[in-house]
Each structure stands twice: as C-alpha cells, then as structure tokens.
C-alpha cells in the first residue's frame, strides 16, 4: 500500500477523534476523542518512519504513547476530582471561567 493510504487513514481517525472532542458532553468521552487523535498521529509517525527508513519516527511514537498514558492518568484523576466537587462530569456545566 502506498504511503498516502496510511496518511488518509490517519487523517480520517484524527478528524473522527476531533469530532468526538467537539461534540461529547461527557468529560471522559472527550478524553476518548483525544486518545483517538493521538493514535492517528502515531499511525502517521510510524508510516513516515517506515517509508523514510528513519528510526526517529518509531522513537517518537514510543514517547507519544508513554506521554499519552501519563496524560490519561492525570486527566482522569482531574475528572474524578471535578466529579467529587461538582457532582458532574458534563463539560458544559464546567464553565467557571465564563467571562
């Protein structure tokens, strides 16, 4: 398969994730969308690494995965704290910063 096929697939997954982030009301749902987007990026990185025979892409993917794990852990911890305080994880209700 050509490189473009992988890139189109990655782009598709990316915008699906973006759609999730934009539309989900639930904070955990938003986090899932972010996971999808990061995943799409990983596909891109690995595809470029393979087609350009450059190891850096693989190393970057490793890093991305590890950072994603950290992000999920912290993000979920924050969600739990918010839930504890506000009794909701509806993102629409979390608008303390409204101008």
Partner 1 sequence: MRLGSPELALLVLALPFVSFLVLALIRPLRRSGRPAALVSILAMAGALGAAAALTWQAIPVARDVNPSVLWSWLPADGGPMASVGVWVDGMAMQMCVLVTLISLLVQIYSSSYLADEPPASLGRYYAYHSLFAFSMLGLVLSPGFLQMFVFWELVGLCSYLLIGYWYDRPSAARAAVKAFWITKLGDLGFVAGIVMLWAATGTFDFWPLFQAAQAGTLQVDGLATIMFLIYLGAVGKSAQFPLHIWLPDAMEGPTPVSALIHAATMVTAGVYMVARAYPLFALVPSVLMLIAWVGAFTALLAATMACVERDIKRVLAYSTVSQLGYMMAANGAGAPGAAFQHLTTHGVFKALLFLGAGIVIHHFHTNDVFRMGGLFRQRPWVGGAFLVATLALAGVWPLPGFFSKEAVLGAVLDAHLSVPFLMLIATSFLTAFYMFRVVFLTFFGHAHAEHHEHPAPPIAMDAVCRALAVLTLALGLRAALTGHHAEGPAWLPWISLAWAGAGIVLAWTVYQARAVDPARLSAALAPIDILARRRYFLDAIFAGAYRFLLLGLSQVIGWVDRYVVDGVLNALSAGALRAGDTLRRLQTGRAQDYVYGVALGVLLLLVWAQLG
Partner 2 sequence: MTEIVGFWVAAAVLVGASLAVVLTPNLFHAVLWLAAALVATGGIFLLLDSPFLFGVQLLLYAGGVVTIVVFAIMLTERLVGASIRQTSRFVFSGAVLAAAVFAAIMGFVLQGGAVARPIAGGDQLRELGRALAGPFGVPLQLLGVLLVIALLGALYFARAED
Q: Which residues bind partner 1 (CB under 8 A)?
A: 18, 21-24, 30, 91-92, 94-99
Q: Does 76 bind partner 2 (CB under 8 A)?
A: yes
Give the C-alpha separation, 45 to 79, whole Å.
Answer: 29
> Can you read off the two tokens belonging to residue 11?
């782009």
The CB-of-62 to partner 2 minimum distance in angstroms stands at 7
Q: Per-residue x/- marks for partner 2, 2-41, CB under 8 A?
A: xxxxxxxx-xxxxxxxxxx-xxxxx-xx-xxx-xx--x--
- Sequence-distant (6+) residues with CB within 8 A of 76 are 28, 31
């Amino acid at each position: 398969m050509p490189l473009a096929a992988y890139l189109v697939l990655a782009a598709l997954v990316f915008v699906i994730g973006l759609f999730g982030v934009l539309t989900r009301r639930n904070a955990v749902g938003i986090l899932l969308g972010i996971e999808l987007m990061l995943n799409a990026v990983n596909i891109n990185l690995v595809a470029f690494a393979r087609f350009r025979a450059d190891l850096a892409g693989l190393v970057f993917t490793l890093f991305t995965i590890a950072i994603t794990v950290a992000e999920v852990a912290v993000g979920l911890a924050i969600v739990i704290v918010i839930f504890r305080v506000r009794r909701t994880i509806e993102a629409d209700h979390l608008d303390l910063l409204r101008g």
